[in-house]
Amino acid sequence: MRSPTPLWKPVTAPASSVLSGGAGSPSTPSRRKGIVSSLPQPEQSISEVEQSPPGVHWEAVLERPVPEEDVNDTLSPLSISPRISLQEMIDSLPPKSCCDYLVSHFFKHISALFPILHGPTFQRQYTAFMQHPHDVDLPWLALLFALCSLSISTIDESDPRLACVWSQLPMSVMQPSSTVPITVSVSRRLLRTAITCLLQGDFLIRHTFSTFEALLMVIYSLSHNESVDQGWALLGMALNIGIALRCNVDQKNLGPIETERRRRCWAGLLTLHTYQGMLFRDFDMSYLLGIQAPLPADVNDADITNQGIVQPSSRSEPTQMSVMMAKLRLFRLSTQICRHTAGPSRLDQQALRDFDAAIADEQKQWDAAYMVDGSPNILDSNRYAYWCVLQTYAHHLYLLLHRPFHHSRGPCFLPSSRERCISSSAAMISLHKQLYEAPILRNYFWLLSGVTSLKALHAAVALNSCLQDDTDQQMDSFRGEIESLIGRMKDLSGRSHICLRAYRILRHLQAQAGTGDRPTGSSETPFENLFEDLTDIREWMDADLIDWNLDGQLNVFAP
C-alpha cells in the first residue's frame, strides 16, 4: 500500500496520554498502548473450574476468540502491504479547526440520512483523540477519515471555512485536474487513507465495533460519490463482521447506548443492501429478511443515555432516526418487490396493485412527516431534502414494478402502467433537477454524484421508451426534460464517474431517438429492449460486460 501524501500539518497534542474509550465501546478490545486491551485472562484454578455452573465452559469454548495482542503468527490476507506510520496518518488529517467544521457539518446535514453514529458518543471519542492523537485505535481513525471524506465532498470549494485547508495543500493537489473539483480530489484522498487505516489494522482478522462503523461509512461514501458496485465486496465483509460482533442480536452485558449503537449500525447495513437490490436485478436480498434483528429506537441522540431511552413526547415530529426507519421499511419492501420482478410472478396484476398500494402508503407517511400542507418546509430545509431522497426510492420502485407492462408491443401491455412509468420517470427527473438547482437544497447537491443520478438515468431510459411508443405531441415537453437532464449530467461529469457514463449513454439514446445528432448509417434499437437492458445497471457500469457500440456506429465513450 503506497503511503498517502500528507496534506496537512500534524495535529499537535501530547503523545503520552491515554485515549480512554476513543475506539468504540468500553468493551471493545484494542491493540494500542494506553487503551484498555483485551489480553488473555489467567487460567482458572482447578477449584474455580469445579465450582463453575454446568455448561459455562462449553459456552466459553463456542465463543469467537478475541485476537491476542501482538500476535504475529497469523497471516492477514492484506498484511503484506508496505506499512506507514501512525504519524503519517495523523498528518493526513485536515487541521483541527477544519476537522471540527467537517464533523459539525456531517451531523447537521448528512447524519440523518445515514444515522449509524450516536452523536454524544462520537463527540467524546473525537475530543479524546484531539487531546491524545497518538493513542488512537486504527479502526476509529479510519472512521474519522471516512466521515471527513464524505463531509468535504458535500461542501462547495468556495466555502470560506475551508480556506485553512486550501492554504496548506501542495500545488499538485490544488490543481489535480481542470474538471475535477478540489473537494472531490481531497475527499478521495481522505477515503483512501481511511481504507489504509483499516488495512493496517488487519480488519479482516482483527475487527472491533469501530471497524464495523468505519466500513459502513466507507461504503456509504462510495455509493454516493463513486459507484454503488465499488462497495459490493466491502458490504459482504461488513455483513460478516457485523454478525461476528453480534450486532444483529442484543447482548445482555451492554448498556442502552452500546445496544443502540449496534442496532443503528445493523440498520445501516440493511439500508446499504437496498441500493444493491434495486440497482442490480440479479441479487436476491431476501435472505436478510430472515435475520430477526432488533430495530433501533426511533428517538433523538439526546434521548439515549446509560440510564435508559426516553421516548419522544410527540410522535408527530420526526426524530434524527425517522429517515432511517423509513429506509428500513423500504429495504423490506424493495427486497420483496425485486424478488417479485425477478420471478415468474412479475406479470401478476394483483401483486402489481398490492405493491403499488404499499409504496403509496409510504409516500403518505413521508408527506405527513416532512411536508407542510403539501409544500416544502422552508423553516427546516433538511426535511424537504429527506422527502426528496425518499421519493427517489418510491419512483424507482414504481418503474421496476411497471416495466413489464409499459410498452404496447410488450407481452402484457397496460395503459395505466405506461402512465405510471411516464409520471414516475418525470418525477424522478424533476427531483434530480431540484437537487441541482433549488437553493433550499444546496446542502444536498452532493447526492447527485452517486446513486441519485443512477436512478435518474433509469428514469430517462424508461421515459424514452414510453416516448417512442406514443405519438402524442404533448409528450414533447418530456423530451425537453431529458435534454435538460443530459446537460446536468454533463456538468456533473467532472465530479462523478457515474454522471460521466450516464451523460454518454443518454447522449447516445438521444441520437437514436432522433432528437440529437444521429450518426450516419445507424440502425434503430427497440426502446422497449433498451429499457429492459439498461435497467441492469451492473452492465453499463462495467465496460467489460457491455457492447458500448449500441448501434454498431457510435462509441458512447467518444469525446
CA nearest to 463, candidates 435, 520, 425 = 425
CA distance 551 to 146: 41
At residue 58, the pLDDT reads 66
Average pLDDT of 447-456? Answer: 92
Average pLDDT of 153-167? Answer: 82
- In total, how many domains does the chain have? 2
Q: Is residue 120 predicted with pLDDT exceeding 50?
A: yes
What is the distance, to the nearest Å, from the Cα of residue 30 to the centroid of all Cα atoms in its chain? 27
Higher pLDDT, 27 or 165: 165
Kindly state whether residue 101 falls inside one of the protein's structural domains.
yes
Q: Which of 272, 303, 334 is the last residue of a domain?
A: 303
User: Whole domain around residue 291: which residue ranges?
Assistant: 75-303
At residue 248, the pLDDT reads 95
Q: Are 175 and 259 in the same domain? A: yes
CA nearest to 129, candidates 106, 148, 152 = 148
Higher pLDDT, 491 or 226: 491
Q: Which of 492, 513, 534 is the last residue of a domain?
A: 513
Q: Is residue 41 predicted with pLDDT exceeding 90?
A: no
At residue 445, the pLDDT reads 95
Average pLDDT of 230-239? Answer: 90
CA distance 166 to 171: 10
At residue 416, the pLDDT reads 94
Lowest mean pLDDT among 41-50, 121-130, 372-381, 489-498: 41-50
Confidence of residue 8 (pLDDT cuts 50, 70, 90): low
Kindly state whether residue 359 falls inside one of the protein's structural domains.
yes
Q: Is residue 10 predicted with pLDDT exceeding 50?
A: no
Kindly state whether residue 240 falls inside one of the protein's structural domains.
yes
CA distance 366 to 360: 10
Q: Are 356 and 438 in the same domain? A: yes
Kindly state whether residue 30 falls inside one of the protein's structural domains.
no
Q: Are 379 and 505 in the same domain? A: yes
At residue 143, the pLDDT reads 98
Confidence of residue 175 (pLDDT cuts 50, 70, 90): low
- Mean pLDDT in the chain? 80
Q: Is residue 221 predicted with pLDDT exceeding 50?
A: yes
Q: What 3-state DSSP class applies to 390?
A: helix
Cell numbers 506507514 correspond to 84
Kindly state whether residue 329 falls inside one of the protein's structural domains.
no
The strand pairing partners of 304, in sequence order, are 309
Q: Are 229 and 372 in the same domain? A: no
Q: What 3-state DSSP class applies to 371?
A: strand
Query: φ and ψ at 291, to 5 degrees?
Result: -90, 105
Cβ-in-10-Å burial (0-12, 13-18, 19+) of 383 comes to buried
Higher pLDDT, 356 or 515: 356
Cβ-in-10-Å burial (0-12, 13-18, 19+) of 422 comes to buried
Q: Are 350 and 270 in the same domain? A: no
pLDDT one-digit tens code per residue, 391-425: 999 999 999 999 999 888 878 899 999 999 999 99
Q: What is the SS3 assignment for 280-339?
A: CCCCCCHHHHHCCCCCCCCCCHHHEECCEECCCCCCCCCCCCHHHHHHHHHHHHHHHHHH
Confidence of residue 182 (pLDDT cuts 50, 70, 90): confident
The H helix count followed by the E strand count for the chain is 21, 4
CA distance 320 to 388: 16
Confidence of residue 494 (pLDDT cuts 50, 70, 90): confident
Confidence of residue 14 (pLDDT cuts 50, 70, 90): very low
At residue 518, the pLDDT reads 41
- Kind of pairing between the strands at 371-372 and 375-376: antiparallel
Q: Are 483 and 371 in the same domain? A: yes
Q: Are 410 and 356 in the same domain? A: yes
CA distance 521 to 552: 9
Q: Are 85 and 230 in the same domain? A: yes
Q: Are 359 and 507 in the same domain? A: yes
Q: Are 211 and 286 in the same domain? A: yes
CA distance 219 to 454: 16
**Amino acid in position 416:** S
CA distances from 545 to 62, 253, 533, 536 (A): 44, 49, 12, 11
At residue 2, the pLDDT reads 46
Average pLDDT of 216-221? Answer: 96
Average pLDDT of 354-375? Answer: 96
At residue 50, the pLDDT reads 53
Confidence of residue 172 (pLDDT cuts 50, 70, 90): low
Instruction: State the DSSP H helix or E strand holding residue 372, giving kind and residue range, or none if neither.
Output: strand 371-372
Grid cell of 163 as nine digits: 480556506
Kindly state whether residue 86 falls inside one of the protein's structural domains.
yes
Average pLDDT of 273-300? Answer: 86
Kindly state whether residue 321 falls inside one of the protein's structural domains.
no
At residue 533, the pLDDT reads 53
Lowest mean pLDDT among 349-358, 475-484, 487-496: 475-484
Average pLDDT of 260-281? Answer: 90
Are 193 and 145 spatial neighbours (Cβ–Cβ below 8 Å)? yes
Instruction: State the DSSP H helix or E strand holding residue 376, giving kind and residue range, or none if neither.
Output: strand 375-376
Q: Is residue 21 predicted with pLDDT exceeding 80?
A: no
Query: φ and ψ at 305, to 5 degrees?
Result: -130, 175
Q: Is residue 527 predicted with pLDDT exceeding 60?
A: no
Q: Are 287 and 411 in the same domain? A: no
At residue 173, the pLDDT reads 55
**Amino acid in position 319:** T
Confidence of residue 68 (pLDDT cuts 50, 70, 90): low
Q: Is residue 82 predicted with pLDDT exceeding 50?
A: yes
Kindly state whether residue 201 falls inside one of the protein's structural domains.
yes
Q: Are 294 and 352 in the same domain? A: no
Give this prediction's pTM.
Answer: 0.82
